[in-house]
Every structure is written in structure tokens, then in C-alpha cells.
């Protein structure tokens, strides 16, 4: 195998100690997940007693009802405050109430057209990843199969109830933004990340990461663009806080906080519930998720590093802060996580070869 063929694989030719550490960590995470009880014990889904509306329950019903009231001409914040109170949802602090963007999109387009729009964005993301993986000169041709993993984990787009969950729309946009990301031409990625940020403020770490790389590259125009997005977001968030303060009172319910601290097993459970893995038993995800992360770690490229940092960052957030009812936060990253499985076989092969490589004999002259 030529040097060029190995160039994309970070684990090709690593030393034996490095291979031992990486494979040991991989095995530890797999065993931990397989024996840790991944599944619904860590996920709180809507109950029959939860808020209901037009066949939807829980958060789905809450956000659908708000969108309907906005469509009827009511102010978003008045509608959100009323529906939160009726469903006994918290109104404080401000992050307990979603930004109004998705509600306005659904109210303006209508449910059917909004679903078609999200399907179109999802389809574009799938095609974008296929083209990106197929045309990267350093990657093997089979890497394009990663686009199938994107498609498999966008199945929520075909279900009406997920139209109203903000992480679904933001996750689709992030998948598209990453497929289009090129440091020398970041403008499409910048616009799409800004749109995702307008839907869900938890996209902010991604914008900050891109801005950091722009600074590292000394690309001052791109850095200025990301700074402008940050400033616009701050202004929009300030307006959101002010508008919400106008319709809430000190006696309104407050959130119980975000300190789930469920750790690795909770993270795996959230990924399972938010992806195609929901159709399989928990041990399947316990094996595949670490392999997907290993695959992303293997791709020696700016995009590979960016996605790996995003996956690790949100994994940490989910492990530390997400409560069982927040499992769908994982939908921000599940569309791109399993692309890493396309790189995992080559990563494993390289690590095993490094592990099996015979030790060099010590020359007699060195003794």
C-alpha cells in the first residue's frame, strides 16, 4: 500500500503502544456499554398523561399547539407562555422556552410544506455527503457509503411529530453545513450554521468551533463573518429574553435544571433513541457508537477533525447535562455520527497491524 493510500488514515503506522491504548479504550467503551443497560431506563418518553394535541403527546404536542396558535395570528410569546402553563412546562429561565424561528416556519408554510422543506434539506445533506466523500482525493472510494448512514438516520423526517422538535431541523442543517465545509470557502457553511443557530441556540458551540479554526488559519474575513453571526445571535437572544420576560411572572414554573450526569450509558441511550438504532437492542449501539467515533478519529483532515470535536463535545454535554427527557438533544449529531463507520474497518485494520508488528531487535552495538 502506498504512502498516499495511507495518508488519510491517522492510525496507519502508529506505534504499538499507541495501538494498545486506542484498542484498549475501544474495548472498554464497548464492554461498558454492552453491560451497562443501554435503553429506555435512561430515556423518558412522553406518557399517555402528558400534554396531548391532534394525536401528538408531550413536547411534540406542546410545540405543535404553539405553532398552530402562531398560525392563527397570536403572538409567539403569548402563545408559548399560555401553552407552557397549561402543560405545566417551565417558563424560567429563558432557555426553557424555544426560540420562535421553527414555529414561524411551520406557521408560514403549513405542516405539509414544512415537512417537504425539511425533507428537501435532508436529501441535499445526503447528496452533499455522498459527493464530499466520493470526491475527497485522499479517501478510498468505499468511503462514499457513509452517505447511506446519513440517510438511515434522517428517518425522523418522514414522521409528522418530529417536525416540531427543534433539534431535528437544526441537526439536518448541521449535517448539510458540515458536508459543504471548506476552510477556503466557508460562506455556505456560515449561512447554514446561522440558520441552525436561529432555530436552536445549542448550535452555538459549532459556530464557535468554526470561528476558532478561522482564527487559527488567520482567515480574518471568515473570522469576522463568524463574529458577526455571534453578535447577531447575541442580539436575537437578548430580544428573546426581553420578549419572554414581558409575558412571564415570578410565580411561573422554573426548570429543575440540566444536571442529568447520566454518563456514557445515558449518552448511548440517547443516541439509540434518536437514531436508527431504536429498532435494535442496546448492545448493538454499544458496539457501533465507539466504532463510529474511532472512524472519525481516523480521518486525518480538517473536516474529520471538526466532526470529531463536535461529536466529542456534544457527547460530553449529553453525558453531563441532559436529563432522560432531553434525549432528543442527540438529534443534533446523530445524522453525522455514523458516517464514521465507513472509516472504522480501515482504522481497526491499521491498529491491529501495528499491534501485531514484531518488535525491532536491539542491535548488539547498542547494548
Task: Report the share of the chain in percent with pLDDT over 70.
Answer: 94
Which pLDDT tens digit goes with each residue over 300-326? Answer: 999 999 999 999 999 999 999 999 999
pLDDT of residue 3 exceeding 80, the answer is no
Confidence band (pLDDT; 50, 70, 90) for 259?
A: confident
Per-residue model confidence as pLDDT tens digits over 322-344: 999 999 999 999 999 999 999 99
Q: Cell numbers for 142, please give them.
A: 468505499
Grid cell at residue 56: 401528538
Beta bridge partners of 11: none
pLDDT at 70 over 90: yes
Sign of torsion over alpha carbons 208, 213, 218, 223: negative
* Span 17-47, pLDDT tens digits: 999 999 999 999 999 999 999 987 899 876 6
Indicate the burial class of 362 (C-beta count within 10 angstroms; 0-12, 13-18, 19 or more). Answer: exposed
Spatial separation of the C-alpha atoms in residues 160 and 54, rounded to whole Å: 11
Residue 243 scores a pLDDT above 70 = yes
Closest CA to 51 of 78, 81, 89, 77: 89
The pLDDT value given to residue 52 = 82
Consecutive H or E run containing 304: helix 302-320
The reported pLDDT for the residue numbered 352 is 96
Question: What is the predicted pLDDT for the residue at 361?
Answer: 46
For residue 324, how many other CB atoms are within 10 A of its CB? 17
Q: For residues 335 and 149, give the distance between their C-alpha atoms in angstroms, rounded to a whole number.
A: 8
Q: What are phi and psi of 92, to 5 degrees?
A: -130, 145
DSSP line for 115-176: HHHHHHHHHHHHHHHHHHHHH-TTS-GGGGGHHHHHHHTTGGGGSGGGGG-HHHHHHHHHHH
Ordered by start, the domain boundaries in the chain are 8-356
The predicted model gives 237-256 an average pLDDT of 95
Q: Band the pLDDT of 350: cuts 50, 70, 90.
A: very high
| 197-217 mean pLDDT | 98
Among residues 170, 176, 168, 115, which one has the least CA distance to residue 147?
Answer: 176
- CA 323, CA 255: separation in Å to the nearest integer? 12
pLDDT the model gives residue 362: 47
In the chain, the percentage of residues whose pLDDT exceeds 90 is: 86
Q: Can you give the pLDDT at residue 357? A: 77
Give the number of other CB atoms < 10 A from CB of residue 190. 22
Q: What is the pLDDT of residue 22?
A: 98
Distance CA(249)–CA(313), nearest Å, equals: 34
pLDDT for position 180? 98
What pLDDT, in 10s, does the model give residues 81-127? 999 999 999 999 999 999 999 999 999 999 999 999 999 999 999 99
Residue 220, burial from CB neighbour count under 10 angstroms (0-12, 13-18, 19+):
exposed
How many CB atoms lie under 10 A from the CB of residue 72? Answer: 9
pLDDT band at 367 (very low <50, low <70, confident <90, very high): very low
Q: What are the percentages of helix, strand and coil residues in the chain, rounded to 5?
A: 70, 0, 25
Each residue's pLDDT tens digit, 164-198: 999 999 999 999 999 999 999 999 999 999 999 99
pLDDT (average), residues 151-163: 92
| DSSP 8-class letter at 53 | E
pTM of the model: 0.93
Is the CA virtual torsion 68, 70, 74, 78 positive or negative? Answer: positive
Question: Within a 13 Å sphere around the CA of 166, how many CA atoms are in the beta-carbon half?
Answer: 26
The pLDDT score that the predictor gives to residue 2 is 41
Cis peptide before 57 (omega within 30 of 0): no
Amino acid at each position: 500500500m502506498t504512502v498516499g493510500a495511507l495518508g488519510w488514515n491517522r492510525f496507519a503506522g502508529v506505534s504499538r503502544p499507541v495501538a494498545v491504548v486506542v484498542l484498549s479504550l475501544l474495548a472498554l467503551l464497548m464492554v461498558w456499554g454492552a453491560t451497562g443497560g443501554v435503553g429506555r431506563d435512561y430515556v423518558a418518553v412522553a406518557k399517555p398523561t402528558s400534554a396531548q394535541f391532534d394525536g401528538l403527546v408531550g413536547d411534540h404536542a406542546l410545540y405543535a399547539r404553539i405553532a398552530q396558535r402562531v398560525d392563527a395570528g397570536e403572538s409567539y410569546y403569548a402563545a408559548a407562555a399560555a401553552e407552557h402553563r397549561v402543560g405545566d412546562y417551565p417558563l424560567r429561565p429563558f432557555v426553557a422556552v424555544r426560540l420562535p424561528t421553527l414555529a414561524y416556519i411551520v406557521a408560514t408554510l403549513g405542516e405539509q410544506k414544512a415537512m417537504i422543506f425539511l425533507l428537501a434539506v435532508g436529501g441535499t445533506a445526503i447528496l452533499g455527503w455522498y459527493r464530499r466523500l466520493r470526491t475527497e482525493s485522499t479517501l478510498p472510494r468505499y468511503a462514499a457509503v457513509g452517505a447511506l448512514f446519513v440517510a438511515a438516520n434522517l428517518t425522523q423526517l418522514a414522521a409528522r411529530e418530529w417536525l416540531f422538535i427543534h433539534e431535528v431541523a437544526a441537526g439536518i442543517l448541521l449535517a448539510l453545513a458540515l458536508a459543504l465545509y471548506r476552510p477556503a470557502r466557508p460562506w455556505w457553511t456560515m449561512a447554514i450554521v446561522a440558520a441552525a443557530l436561529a432555530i436552536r441556540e445549542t448550535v452555538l458551540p459549532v459556530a464557535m468551533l468554526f470561528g476558532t479554526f478561522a482564527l487559527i488559519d488567520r482567515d480574518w474575513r471568515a473570522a469576522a463573518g463568524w463574529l458577526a453571526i455571534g453578535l447577531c445571535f447575541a442580539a436575537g437572544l437578548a430580544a428573546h429574553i426581553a420578549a419572554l420576560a414581558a409575558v412571564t411572572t415570578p410565580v411561573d414554573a422554573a426548570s429543575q435544571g440540566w444536571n442529568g450526569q447520566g454518563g456514557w450509558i445515558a449518552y448511548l441511550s440517547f443516541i439509540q433513541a434518536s437514531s436508527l438504532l431504536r429498532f435494535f437492542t442496546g448492545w448493538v449501539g454499544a458496539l457501533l457508537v465507539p466504532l463510529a467515533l474511532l472512524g472519525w478519529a481516523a480521518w486525518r483532515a480538517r473536516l474529520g477533525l471538526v466532526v470529531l470535536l463536535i461529536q466529542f463535545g456534544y457527547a460530553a454535554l449529553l453525558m453531563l447535562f441532559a436529563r432522560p427527557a432531553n434525549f432528543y438533544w442527540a438529534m443534533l449529531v446523530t445524522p453525522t455520527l455514523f458516517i464514521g463507520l465507513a472509516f472504522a474497518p480501515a482504522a481497526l485494520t491499521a491498529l491491529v497491524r501495528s499491534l501485531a508488528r514484531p518488535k525491532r531487535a536491539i542491535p548488539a552495538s547498542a547494548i
